[in-house]
Amino acid sequence: MKRALILAAALTALSPAPAFADASSFTLVNATAANMTSVQIRRSGTQAWKPLGVSPAAGGSGAVQFSDPDCAFDIEASLAGDGTVVWSGVNLCEAKIVKLNRNDSGALWVDYD
């Protein structure tokens, strides 16, 4: 019995720690058909917007250097000729490519890779 407990303790100690997802750097793709003149981000449920440092043209993309322990964010973009739009609840954990979409009727959605 003692041997089994020692073996179980050893296996537990050697098991990898669970991985915790964090939001990290990603590529932002503009799939809105309008140029983005500014892009900001905030943690969902907060009011403090911070610039992302990229403003991709229609169909373009830009690398975003980012690190945060949270996953859920709102992304706001000013679209040339169309005003300001907000994608709410964007999940940035484990996302390498975040594609912001908007169709002709104004519907917003996000695709991830």
For the stretch 37-55, pLDDT in tens is: 999 999 999 999 999 999 9
pTM here is 0.80
Instruction: Give mean pLDDT, residues 20-27.
Output: 80
* DSSP bridge pairs for 76: 40, 86
Instruction: Give mean pLDDT, residues 73-92.
Output: 96
Q: Is the pLDDT of residue 89 over 80?
A: yes
Q: Is the pLDDT of residue 19 over 80?
A: no
Contacts of 81 (CB under 8 A, 6+ apart): 34
- How buried is residue 43: exposed, middle or buried, by Cβ count under 10 Å (0-12/13-18/19+)? middle
Domains and CATH numbers, the chain: 21-112 (2.60.40.2890)
